[in-house]
Chain A
Amino acid sequence: DVKVTQSSRYLVKRTGEKVFLECVQDMDHENMFWYRQDPGLGLRLIYFSYDVKMKEKGDIPEGYSVSREKKERFSLILESASTNQTSMYLCASGTRDRAAYGYTFGSGTRLTVV
C-alpha cells in the first residue's frame, strides 16, 4: 500500500515561530500537495510540486513556503506562524499517469497556533 506519512499528528506552536510540517511518501510519486482543511471550507490547496526542486503556488499560498529537495519528501514551512494558520494540514501524493485513482493522503497534522 502507498504510504503518505506526516511527521506529527498534533502540534502546538507560538505566534511568530517558524514551523515545519514534513510529509514523506514511499511510492516514488511525482506529484505532492499540501492542503489545509477548515470546517465549511473543505480542502484548499496551498502549494504543490510536480518534481524535485519544483514548486507551484496553489489557491492560498500566503504565509507559507515549501521545499522539495528529494522526491519522497515535501515540506511545508510557516515562516512566522499566526493564529489564523490554526488548521488541519493534509499532505497528498500521486502519480501523473494514474489520474483516475486519485491521490493518497496522509493522516493530517492538526496545528494550533497560540
Chain B
Amino acid sequence: AQKITQTQPGMFVQEKEAVTLDCTYDTSDPSYGLFWYKQPSSGEMIFLIYQGSYDQQNATEGRYSLNFQKARKSANLVISASQLGDSAMYFCAMRERSYGQNFVFGPGTRLSVLP
C-alpha cells in the first residue's frame, strides 16, 4: 500500500491566489514527521516545511503552511499569495521513527501558476 498519496498530478492557480496541495499518509508509528519539498525545473529538491506528529499547532514558514489533520492522516500544503516562481513539482514525504532516518515520498503534484 502507498504510504504517501498525492491525488493531484497537476494543479493550476492564478497568481496571487492561495492554493492547497493534498497529501494523505499511512502509518501505524505514533512518532513520525511530515515534510514538503519543492522541485523546480532545475531539479534540486528544496525543503519547505516540517510537521511533527506530536506538534500541537500547524507548521508555518512564510507563505507556506501545513494543514495537519492527524485523525484524517492528512498534511496538506497551503501556499498563500502564489507567485510565478512557485511553479514546480511538490512532494510530500514522511519519516517514521520505526523506519530510521529514511523518507518515503509521494508521487508529487505539478503546480503551475498562471499570470
Residues of A within 8 A of B (CB): 9, 31, 33, 35, 40-45, 48, 50, 58, 88, 90, 92, 94, 96, 99-108, 110
Contact = CB atoms under 8 A, between A and B. Distances in A.
Given A42-B106, A42-B108, A101-B50, A31 B45 contact: no
Contacts of A48: 101-102
Q: Is the interface of B mostly helix, strand, loop or mixed?
A: strand
A100 B33 contact: yes
Interface of B: 4, 9, 33, 35, 37, 42-47, 50, 52, 91, 93, 95, 101-108
Contacts, number: 59
A9 to B, nearest CB: 8
A110 B4 CA distance: 24
A94 B42 CA distance: 21
| Residue with the highest number of chain A CB atoms closer than 10 Å, among B45, B104, B105 | B45
A8 to B, nearest CB: 12
Contacts of A31: 101
B42 A107 contact: yes
B54 to A, nearest CB: 12
Contact of A102 (B37, B42, B43, B108): B37
